[in-house]
């Protein structure tokens, strides 16, 4: 790793500043490559940000030190009037597509190549470079003396569009190549969007009430062609290199596979899912293996690509009608299809969220037959303009739940009314509500609703709630599916000899394990009011709010009977949280469950925390934790902050006072910088707590 040296003051000698700027550029490029390409960061994001800010300050004070390959120039920000045309020196030709998705497609390609090379039947098997066919947008990167000068789309193969500004925002694409670069080299590859980045983008769009995107491929292609690079800020794009274009002053390796190794050595990402295989059998095996892996890949592929590995043989084979004879794309089944929407039903999730589900005319898509697909929520359904009887586009990619992404334009046979969400939960009959400003409809049944039963039990038994040790996912599944538990109070019916016998009968559980569960249930009966309120799983009520409620009201009865106005008097309780609490205790079945739990022996000091507490020095200060701290766990840091009166929030906003950042801090750190929120580390947090009189050992 490049060595570091002390930061230079802004008024340092010019020679020292130039050397420091060069050093920072080298270090930032190194760490960006470790982070984006190798997925093996060596330093926390906060340290990268510190070096980045130092380089920005030097360049701002001394513009003559700014270089085009500086990491600070990734987002230039100028809005373009349009894209300038770029004529490719070496045309970006497409390759032939083999639509036979069976092994026959690979066998036919090998036979064609051998025939073109006039190889006898007993000649050795040919070596092929086999790789993935990414579902993205082809891009040509032009580097001169190692510096990225231009990025262009494929276009019609002869002429593309200059998208340099936008491509510079992609962290995986180096602005300067590693090692000794040739005078000129064009590296070709695919800009794509990972599935998880695509799903996060659409989830953010749903939360904002904005447009959602159909698929990662279209989203990546559209993002690259944004005239304003700043519009790419929330569309995280990725890149894989797969070949060369124009080349000067560099001896290309003898094989395609070795060429990819050389490209990787220059610092560009090359997909690891590639191999050199022998003959038709090797091609078939690769196609089969990647087909089995397809759903588990973090990005979409629509096939694999076979290329004759020898560059000399590629030249012998040449081209036919602008397609290379030495390469072919071997497809997989499509991940989007059209079918008829027969009905819309409501599914109630483990947290009470109501999701409209499309009942489809069965269609084969993404390697399986799909008859159900999510419509996400009412607002998404309305935006897509989907109604029963429509012909719709269905998408299934990887392990993503199949979804309806839109309707095929066309006239409807007659009037079809808009779908409406039910007013009562289809599972338990409880009232359905949508929070003000929210997009999701939810069942208010909570503890009573069978659809939410498992989640309610797991939350109730959690370490931060009733802390019933040993009551995990598997056992809860068995208890619910075996009808031993229908509501939360049924748990405590197991805390006796008869209950232990029923537990022991589950999956032949050992008597000792059953005894441990019974003992844990008994131990959990002595708790605190705050823990009990949190354990009820009231929406919007986390640990801090539960503590505030216990402290403010002092008794469960007063919380249950509180009016909206009284709830709004509690610290940090706003209208949405107050409404959620009020609605929960307004439901007769929820109150009945609470009374049954109390009757089972659960108890606490009814006036715990009601008295005024000692002054808390961090009162009113909001903290956000992100990344891995050196010695403190997230829970320990949170407990220490809250013990001093501070509040720990889950997301960064203008109300946040401090972001505590550790290793591998992510988007929360970025947002802190954007909003100007102060960022501190563990050491500064501990010093703050010690000064506040709330510190302690961090071990």
Give the 3-state DSSP-derived string for 336-402, with helices as H, strands as E and coil as C: EEEEEEEEEEEEECCCCEEEEEEEEEEEEECCEEEEEEECCCHHHHHHHCCCCCCEEEEECCCCCCC
Same domain, 18 and 138: no
| 476 closest CA partner among 492, 489, 491 | 491
Same domain, 184 and 258: yes
Same domain, 571 and 454: yes
| 339 closest CA partner among 406, 401, 400 | 406
Domain boundary among 589, 613, 637: 613
Same domain, 516 and 578: yes
Mean pLDDT of the chain: 85
- pLDDT at residue 40, rounded to an integer: 66
Residues 539-592 pLDDT 10s: 889 888 999 899 899 999 999 999 999 999 998 888 889 998 998 899 888 899
| 254 closest CA partner among 321, 315, 210, 295 | 315
438 located within any domain: no
Q: Are strands 184-192 and 137-144 parallel, antiparallel or unpaired?
A: antiparallel
- pLDDT at residue 81, rounded to an integer: 60
C-beta of residue 163 within 8 angstroms of C-beta of residue 139: yes
- pLDDT at residue 35, rounded to an integer: 62
* Overall average pLDDT of the 337-345 stretch: 92
pLDDT category at 1 given cuts 50, 70, 90 is low
Domain boundary among 331, 361, 386: 331
Q: Higher pLDDT residue, 239 or 518?
A: 239
Strand order in the sheet with 658-661: 647-649, 622-626, 658-661, 678-680
Same domain, 210 and 130: yes
421 located within any domain: no
SS3 225: coil
Q: Higher pLDDT residue, 504 or 153?
A: 153
pLDDT category at 77 given cuts 50, 70, 90 is very low
- The DSSP secondary structure of 63-91, one letter per residue, reads GGG--TT-GGGS---PPPSSPPEEE-SS-
Euclidean distance between CA atoms 550 and 568, whole angstroms: 14
Same domain, 151 and 293: yes
Same domain, 174 and 308: yes
Q: Higher pLDDT residue, 49 or 632?
A: 632
Same domain, 643 and 596: no
CATH code of the domain in which 316 resides: 3.30.470.30
- pLDDT at residue 182, rounded to an integer: 95
Question: Would residue 625 be called left, alpha or beta, if left means φ above 0 and alpha means ψ between -120 and 50 degrees?
Answer: beta
Sign for the CA dihedral angle at 51, 52, 53, 55 comes to positive
Number of domains in the chain: 5
129 located within any domain: yes
Residue 14 has pLDDT above 50, yes or no: yes
On the CB side of 36, CA atoms within 13 Å amount to 23
Which residue has 């064009």 as its token pair? 186
- Tell me the sheet residues that pair with 144: 147, 184
- pLDDT at residue 505, rounded to an integer: 73
- pLDDT at residue 356, rounded to an integer: 94
Convert 150-218 into a string of H (helix), E (strand) and C (coil).
Answer: EEEECCCCCEEEECHHHHCCCCCCCCECCCCCCCEEEEEEEEECCHHHHHHHHHHHHHHCCCCCCCHHH
CATH code of the domain in which 514 resides: 1.10.150.20
- pLDDT at residue 187, rounded to an integer: 97
Same domain, 122 and 218: yes
CATH code of the domain in which 44 resides: 1.10.287.610
Residue 123 has pLDDT above 90, yes or no: yes
Euclidean distance between CA atoms 677 and 654, whole angstroms: 8
C-beta of residue 75 within 8 angstroms of C-beta of residue 230: yes
According to DSSP, residue 663 is labeled: B
pLDDT category at 286 given cuts 50, 70, 90 is very high
Two tokens, residue 459: 């939350």
Q: Which domain range does residue 347 map to?
A: 336-407
pLDDT category at 699 given cuts 50, 70, 90 is very low
Same domain, 647 and 603: no
Domain boundary among 377, 407, 437: 407
Sign for the CA dihedral angle at 13, 14, 15, 21 comes to positive
Euclidean distance between CA atoms 166 and 37, whole angstroms: 18
Residue 13 has pLDDT above 80, yes or no: no
* Overall average pLDDT of the 242-260 stretch: 95
The set of catalytic residues is 133
* Overall average pLDDT of the 472-493 stretch: 85
Count CB-CB contacts under 10 A for residue 61: 11
491 located within any domain: yes
430 located within any domain: no
C-beta of residue 195 within 8 angstroms of C-beta of residue 300: yes
Which residue has 């569309």 as its token pair? 235
Euclidean distance between CA atoms 410 and 393, whole angstroms: 13
- pLDDT at residue 621, rounded to an integer: 86
697 located within any domain: no
Residue 504 has pLDDT above 80, yes or no: no
215 located within any domain: yes
- pLDDT at residue 26, rounded to an integer: 85
SS3 662: coil
Euclidean distance between CA atoms 315 and 312, whole angstroms: 5
According to DSSP, residue 33 is labeled: I
Residues 419-456 pLDDT 10s: 999 999 998 898 898 877 788 899 988 777 888 888 88
- pLDDT at residue 8, rounded to an integer: 58
- The DSSP secondary structure of 494-554, one letter per residue, reads TSSHHHHHHHHTGGG--HHHHHHHHHHHHHHTB--HHHHHHHTT-TT--HHHHHHHHHHH-
Counting every residue written for the chain, the total comes to 699
Residue 357 has pLDDT above 80, yes or no: yes
User: Lowest mean pLDDT: which of 22-36, 376-390, 459-473?
Assistant: 22-36
SS3 310: strand
- Helix axes 511-524 and 497-504, enclosed angle (nearest 10): 130
Same domain, 346 and 325: no
Residue 2 has pLDDT above 70, yes or no: no
| 398 closest CA partner among 270, 301, 289 | 301
Share of the chain above pLDDT 70, in %: 90
User: Lowest mean pLDDT: which of 191-205, 227-241, 274-288?
Assistant: 227-241
- The DSSP secondary structure of 267-292, one letter per residue, reads T----S--EEEEHHHHHHHHHHHHHH
* Overall average pLDDT of the 669-680 stretch: 87
User: Lowest mean pLDDT: which of 92-106, 142-156, 304-318, 595-609?
Assistant: 595-609
* Range ranked top by mean pLDDT from 17-26, 184-193, 199-208, 584-593: 184-193
C-beta of residue 33 within 8 angstroms of C-beta of residue 174: yes
424 located within any domain: no
Residues 365-374 pLDDT 10s: 876 788 999 8
* Overall average pLDDT of the 276-289 stretch: 96
* Overall average pLDDT of the 118-143 stretch: 94
Same domain, 480 and 549: yes
């Amino acid at each position: 790793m490049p060595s570091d040296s002390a930061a230079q003051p802004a008024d340092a000698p010019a020679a020292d500043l130039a050397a420091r700027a060069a050093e920072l550029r080298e270090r930032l490029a190194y760490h960006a490559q470790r982070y984006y390409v190798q997925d093996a960061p060596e330093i926390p994001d906060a340290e990268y940000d510190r070096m980045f800010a130092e380089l920005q300050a030097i360049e701002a004070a001394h513009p003559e030190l700014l270089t085009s390959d500086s990491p600070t120039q990734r987002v230039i920000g100028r809005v373009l009037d349009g894209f300038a045309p770029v004529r490719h020196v070496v045309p970006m030709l497409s390759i032939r597509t083999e639509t036979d998705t069976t092994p026959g497609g690979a066998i036919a390609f090998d036979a064609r190549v051998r025939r073109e090379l006039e190889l006898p039947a007993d000649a050795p098997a040919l070596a092929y470079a086999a790789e993935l066919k990414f579902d993205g947008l082809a891009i040509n990167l032009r580097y001169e003396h190692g510096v990225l000068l231009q990025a262009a789309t494929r276009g019609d193969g002869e002429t593309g569009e200059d998208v340099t500004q936008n491509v510079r925002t992609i962290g995986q694409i180096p602005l300067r190549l590693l090692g000794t670069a040739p005078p000129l080299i064009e590296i070709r590859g695919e800009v794509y969007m990972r599935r998880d980045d695509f799903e996060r983008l659409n989830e953010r769009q749903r939360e904002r009430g904005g447009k959602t995107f159909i698929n990662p491929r279209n989203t990546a292609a559209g993002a690259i062609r944004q005239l304003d690079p700043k519009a790419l800020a929330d569309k995280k794009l990725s890149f894989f290199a797969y070949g060369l274009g124009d080349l000067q002053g560099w001896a290309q390796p003898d094989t395609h596979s070795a060429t990819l190794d050389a490209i990787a050595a220059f610092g560009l990402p090359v997909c690891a899912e590639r191999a050199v295989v022998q003959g038709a059998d090797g091609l078939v095996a690769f196609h089969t293996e990647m087909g089995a892996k397809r759903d588990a890949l973090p990005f979409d592929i629509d096939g694999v690509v076979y290329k004759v590995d020898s560059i000399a043989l590629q030249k012998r084979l040449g081209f036919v009608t602008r397609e290379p004879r030495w390469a072919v794309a071997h497809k997989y089944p499509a991940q989007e299809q059209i079918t008829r929407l027969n009905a819309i039903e409501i599914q109630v999730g483990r947290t009470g969220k109501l999701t409209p589900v499309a009942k489809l005319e069965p269609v084969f898509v993404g390697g399986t037959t799909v008859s159900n697909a999510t419509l996400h929520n009412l607002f998404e359904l309305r935006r897509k303009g989907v109604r029963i009887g429509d012909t719709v586009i269905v998408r299934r990619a990887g392990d993503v739940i199949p979804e309806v992404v839109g309707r095929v334009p066309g006239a409807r046979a007659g009037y079809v009314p808009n779908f409406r969400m039910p007013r009562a939960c289809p599972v338990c009959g409880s009232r359905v509500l949508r929070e003000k400003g929210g997009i999701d409809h939810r069942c208010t049944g909570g503890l009573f609703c069978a659809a939410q039963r498992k989640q309610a039990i797991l939350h109730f038994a959690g370490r931060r709630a009733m802390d019933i040790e040993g009551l995990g996912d598997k056992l809860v599944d068995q208890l619910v599916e075996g009808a031993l538990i229908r509501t939360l109070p049924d748990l405590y019916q197991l805390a006796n000899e008869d209950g232990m016998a029923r537990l022991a009968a589950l999956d032949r559980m050992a008597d000792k394990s059953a005894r441990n569960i019974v003992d844990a249930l008994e131990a959990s009966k002595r708790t605190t009011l705050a823990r009990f309120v949190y354990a009820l799983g009231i929406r919007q009520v986390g640990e801090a709010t539960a503590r505030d409620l216990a402290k403010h009201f002092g008794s469960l009865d007063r919380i249950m009977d509180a009016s909206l106005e009284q709830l709004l008097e509690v610290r940090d309780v706003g209208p949405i949280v107050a409404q959620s609490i009020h609605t929960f205790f307004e439901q007769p079945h929820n109150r009945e469950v609470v009374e049954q739990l109390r009757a089972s022996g659960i108890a606490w000091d009814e006036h715990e925390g009601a008295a005024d507490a000692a002054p808390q020095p961090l009162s009113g200060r909001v903290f956000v934790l992100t990344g891995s701290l050196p010695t403190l766990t997230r829970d320990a840091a949170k407990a220490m902050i809250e013990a001093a009166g501070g509040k720990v929030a889950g997301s960064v906003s203008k109300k946040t006072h401090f972001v505590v950042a550790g290793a591998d801090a992510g988007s929360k750190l970025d947002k802190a910088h954007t909003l100007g929120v102060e960022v501190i580390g563990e050491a500064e947090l501990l010093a703050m707590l010690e000064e506040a009189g709330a510190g302690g050992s961090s071990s």
